[in-house]
Amino acid sequence: MTTLAHISDIHLAPLPPVRFQDLLSKRITGFLNWKLKRNRTLDGDGLSNLIRHMRSQAPDIVAVTGDLTNLALDAEINTAANWLQTVGTPEEVCVCPGNHDAYVRGALEKARERWDGYIAGETVDKSPFPYVRRVGDVAVIACSSAITTPPFFAAGKFDEAQAGRLARCLDVLGEAGYFRMVMIHHPPNVEDRNFRLGLWGAQLFRDVVAKHGAEVILHGHTHKSTIHSIPGPTIDVPVIGVAAAGAAQGGSHDDPARYNLFRVEKSGNGWSCLMREYGFQRLGSEIVMRLQMRVY
């Protein structure tokens, strides 16, 4: 059996000191959003307790689907690097970036350099995404939808070049008999299409999965616990979103902070995959199991 934990949208708090020159960009809108909303994020003991609870489950690997930062300031990127060490080693944790990690030009490159082994793995060529982590019978395929967008946009992009590399990964890993879990920050399902906030190239992503197959898609971005699906070659592929790990417990339209735990094992000629969702309720400070369902 292989166990994978999924968290997303950490939005580490508090925001470090922001210089005036840092706001001469799209960051001004994010800074105002922070002051009006995100400064009430779950931080300190809340986030620490969530991670501690997740680590107590002894996952073989932790998938983090982006948005570790808020404004992608250099100080935030450094803080995120330190925070990742509290989650696990680079061998135990894999990251795909979110739109907040690419908030301004050059930020994503800084994050990739600083986060180093946490955001890297086997690749089909010199391109950094998708990369693959293999753990037991599970292969995690980390795509990137993170791009810099204009103010008031939070969209992501999945292009032809990455689609070709993803198709190759899916084919090779499928033929090798792995349970393929694809992670991407923006949701690729039809229900979450939105030009300003959604995934540009979502149809292309769905086409790749429909032709080459996958077992599960993991995403963040919406700050909500969701379960949808997209077509696969023979059956629909579950698309599972997790609530933001940096969400407040009450007074917000976002779901309270949660993580998902997947237990995967071979079952005859197929797979067995059990998902459990753990996290806070809107009232109280306890972390509870909110959902249990069999994905396969």
Q: What predicted TM-score, i.e. pTM, was given to this entire model?
A: 0.94
Sorting pLDDT into bands at 50, 70 and 90, what band is 101? very high
Q: Can you tell me the distance from the alpha carbon of 224 to that of 244, in angstroms, rounded to the nearest whole number?
A: 7
Strands in the chain per DSSP E: 2-7, 61-64, 93-95, 131-135, 138-142, 156-157, 179-183, 199-200, 216-219, 226-230, 237-241, 258-267, 270-280, 287-294
CB 189 within 8 A of CB 239: yes
DSSP character for 236? P
Provide the phi-psi class of 268: left if phi over 0, else alpha when psi is between -120 and 50, else beta. Answer: left
**How close are the terminal C-alpha atoms of the chain, in Å?**
14
pLDDT above 70 (res 130): yes
Sorting pLDDT into bands at 50, 70 and 90, what band is 46? confident
Average pLDDT score over residue span 129-149: 98
Q: Can you tell me the distance from the alpha carbon of 244 to that of 228, in angstroms, rounded to the nearest whole number?
A: 17
pLDDT above 60 (res 129): yes
pLDDT of residue 70: 92
Provide the H-helix boundaries in the chain. 27-36, 45-56, 74-87, 107-115, 160-175, 202-212
pLDDT above 80 (res 19): no
CB 149 within 8 A of CB 99: yes
pLDDT of residue 170: 98
